[in-house]
Structure 1
């Protein structure tokens, strides 16, 4: 009787072990399947990341190329505006009782790792006038000309240290009453008149600021 009980228990134990082994094998198979699926998803994700990176890279290259063309256009357009403004400047300053005997365009100086570029520079024996030329003049451009060009001018160009520095802006279009703002800041203001000639807008009572 005891032998039958032991045999029966052994059979049940064996059946349980077999069931556990089957379950374990099934779980292992499911785990392997999930692992394969996860690996596949990682591969797909990596591919998508690569495709996205390639798209961003291509887009960035196109953007850089476009910005390069825009900058080149701005430079060329700026040169065109300067060439339109420059010819009659000397005569206009003569009318304002300032004799000009020298004019230089696109003058640049590097110092202490910084660069100062002047669009047009007018000179005579005792004064120098750096002129900023803008297609569209706004208040920000006026302030930038004062702070970045006029105030540090003699540091970059010590050869003019004994001369009085006046400032001027020239433009085709104006925003924010920037011409009036420049006048109040003590700058000469130049633009095109009705006959397409450059005129100085400052009245006879104007007193220029020296820098």
Structure 2
């Protein structure tokens, strides 16, 4: 802040010990001018701060909106890719279930609801003959631990939603485009079949000594 000119004048006047009416008026006028300038400057500062706050709030809202839209786009892309993977798996999985496991009925994208509870199965197949077995298939593009947990949850709740199959042996198949060796071992340790994709065709990928678990 510039040094007040009126202060110099005041010191000079007081130093001389003489203050005339004209000099006093000049001092008062100078103080008044500088006060008005200070008030104007303060108002401008307040205005700029308020404008910056409004702009920052606008930017925050726009960023939040953009994040929501991006989340929707990513979610939609994930859903589309998941649907693509399931569609890719279905023809070969139908062939596996019918030829290798002798299933009579193969139903993709099964969703059932009881009250507030819901169960969704990528592929459901069963045979009512002497086999009396049910297979549920979970399809993933990139398998994670959550996918294995999801299949465990499906088999644990299956008979609650499908009491008509309560006397059948229940087996699980985990089909994935990408499945690490660690997760494959976890899948097998739970007694689930592992299925991998090669040349756009899924095939069962288990060791010769593998014993599936009937849930």
Q: How many residues align?
A: 195
Secondary structure at the counterpart of residue 177 of structure 1: helix
Q: Please say if residues 103 and 123 of structure 1, whose CA atoms lie closer than 8 Å, have aligned partners that are also in contact.
A: yes
Mark the runs of 5 or more structure 1 residues left unpaired by the alignment. Answer: 1-10
Describe how 1:167-182 pairs up with structure 2 within 5 A: 167-182=172-187
Among residues 77, 85, 89, which one is paired with 1:70 in the alignment? 77
TM-score of the two chains, using structure 1 as the length reference: 0.71
Among residues 202, 208, 211, which one is paired with 1:207 in the alignment? 211
Distance 1:150 1:52, change over 3 A: same
Secondary structure at the counterpart of residue 121 of structure 2: strand
The one-character-per-residue Cα deviations of 1:59-98 (angstroms, maximum 9, x if unpaired) are 335414532441342233123223243231234433xxxx
Q: Please say if residues 92 and 203 of structure 2, whose CA atoms lie closer than 8 Å, have aligned partners that are also in contact.
A: no
TM-score of the two chains, using structure 2 as the length reference: 0.70
Q: Alpha-carbon deviation of 1:210?
A: 2.5
Q: Alpha-carbon deviation of 1:19?
A: 8.4
Describe how 1:186-201 pairs up with structure 2 within 5 A: 186-192=191-197, 198-201=202-205
**Other-structure match for 1:85:** 92
**Other-structure match for 2:36:** 29
Distance 1:65 1:189, change over 3 A: closer
Alpha-carbon separation, structure 2, partners of 1:117 and 1:168: 15
Mark the runs of 5 or more structure 2 residues left unpaired by the alignment. Answer: 1-17
